[in-house]
Amino acid sequence: MEIERRLVLEVVRVTEQAALAASRLAGKGDKEAVDQAGTEAMRRVLNELPIRGRVVIGEGEMDEAPMLYIGEELGQGGVEVDIAVDPVEGTTTTAKGLPNAVTVIAISERGGLFHAPDMYMEKLVVPPPAAGLVDLTWPVSANLKALALALQRSVEDLVVVVLDRPRHERLIREIREAGARVKLITDGDVIAALAAAVRGTGVHAVMGIGGAPEGVLAAAALKCLGGEIQARFTPQTEEERARLRAMGGDETRIYRTEDLAPGREIVFAATGITDGDILQGVRFFGGGARTHSVVMGYATRVVRFIDSIHLFETGARVTIRV
Ligand code: VTB
Ligand code: MG
Ligand code: MG
């Protein structure tokens, strides 16, 4: 468990610094600036770590992303890890000052995270009791019945998170017709997957089409939490179809948690940028800021919520919250 034990707190520093940088621009209406601030901060801290890291999920291919591009090598040298990042999961939400934006990272040993191409993916995420009992190829109503049975509640008492997009019109209708309720989100299906996997958040599943890189990050979290993701690539063009094949992906295949995050060691971390269901956003105060993060390990089986106070100036005061 070398990777997890050594890097768990280091990895939180990465998401914390990215959240601090991105949140400075929250509500300022410029989503590119938000993304750039988060990406720069993430890369700076990753480069300080005692790792030989390689980006497998990042901001894009080398020719389209100046930083954290796929294949970029990071760190001071040391343990070999693969890195999946989304420096700002919810750039539009952050730019608009809306809830649920986070910074996200997952690391594993080499080969422990699927190299998903940046395209759409159809997803089904369920909490631990329903893992193995649902099937992406079934009708929506059948999955909701299976989920309800697993959670020992009625379909009417299920809430399903769906990205609010025209492409989901039919899915939303089907969920509602089956008797369940829908929680529409503007962005951010990674943190939604996390919310569905843990108790007490009031949501029980995520359905619909979102980003494939986000699917791998969700899988890393679900592996640690014990939930399940099932996913299928949905390339939109011939070019995407070819790119998927080139990366060893198969359009007809259902990818499960273990396929997307096969690592024996996985660390997943996220820090809130704006307030959300699981994480509070960055709160600045005179001379400092407070961040809220979650970090977990698959092999070490610990989920930590970390409340950090960052003192930027001497004289800044720590506040204990009750
Ligand atoms: C998806 C989703 C992300 O953006 O990638 C979405 O997985 C993009 O979908 O969580 P659209 O093209 O419909 O906007 C996020 O919501 C944020 O990156
Ligand atoms: Mg991003
Ligand atoms: Mg994203």
Residue 63: pLDDT above 90? no
Average pLDDT over residues 3-24: 96
**Mean per-residue pLDDT over the chain, rounded:** 96
Residue 207: pLDDT above 60? yes
Q: From the CB of 187, is ligand 1 less than 6 Å away?
A: yes
CA of 35 to the centre of ligand 2 (A): 7
Nearest alpha-carbon partner for 204 in 186, 220, 188, 228? 228
Per-residue pLDDT reduced to its tens digit, 183-202: 999 999 999 999 999 999 99
What does each C-alpha distance from 69 to 39, 44, 58, 165 come to in angstroms?
10, 14, 5, 28
DSSP state of 27: T
pLDDT confidence tier of residue 65, bands split at 50, 70 and 90: confident
Q: From the CB of 297, is ligand 1 less than 6 Å away?
A: no
Measured CA to CA, the distance from residue 301 to residue 68 in angstroms comes to: 28
pLDDT confidence tier of residue 64, bands split at 50, 70 and 90: confident
Average pLDDT over residues 125-146: 98
Say what the pLDDT of residue 146 is: 98
Please report how the helices 140-151 and 169-178 are oriented relative to each other, as an axis angle in degrees rounded to 10: 50
Nearest CA to ligand 1 atom 9: 210
Nearest CA to ligand 1 atom 6: 210
Q: From the CB of 228, is ligand 1 less than 6 Å away?
A: no
Average pLDDT over residues 284-300: 97
Residue 128 is labelled as binding a ligand: no
Cα-Cα-Cα-Cα torsion 48, 72, 209, 153, nearest 10 degrees, comes to -40
Say what the pLDDT of residue 243 is: 92
Q: From the CB of 210, is ligand 1 less than 6 Å away?
A: yes
Say what the pLDDT of residue 161 is: 98
Average pLDDT over residues 46-71: 93
Check residues 181 and 60 and name the one with the higher pLDDT.
181
Say what the pLDDT of residue 255 is: 98
CA of 210, closest atom in ligand 1: 7
Average pLDDT over residues 133-162: 98
Residue 249: pLDDT above 70? yes
Q: From the CB of 211, is ligand 1 less than 6 Å away?
A: yes
CATH number of 120-260: 3.40.190.90
Say what the pLDDT of residue 54 is: 98
Say what the pLDDT of residue 322 is: 56
Domain ranges for the chain: 2-110+266-311, 120-260
Residue 58 is labelled as binding a ligand: no
Say what the pLDDT of residue 126 is: 98
Average pLDDT over residues 16-26: 98
Residue 321: pLDDT above 80? no
Write the DSSP assignment of 50-92 as a string of letters.
SEEEEEEESSS-TTT-SSS-TT-EESSS-EEEEEEEEEEE-HH
Measured CA to CA, the distance from residue 167 to residue 156 in angstroms comes to: 24
ipTM of the predicted assembly exceeds 0.90: yes
CATH number of 2-110+266-311: 3.30.540.10
pLDDT confidence tier of residue 225, bands split at 50, 70 and 90: very high
Measured CA to CA, the distance from residue 136 to residue 257 in angstroms comes to: 13
Q: CB of 303 within 8 A of CB of 293?
A: no
Average pLDDT over residues 105-132: 97
Say what the pLDDT of residue 75 is: 98
Share of the chain above pLDDT 70, in %: 100
Q: Which pTM does this prediction carry?
A: 0.97
Say what the pLDDT of residue 62 is: 81
Q: From the CB of 31, is ligand 1 less than 6 Å away?
A: no
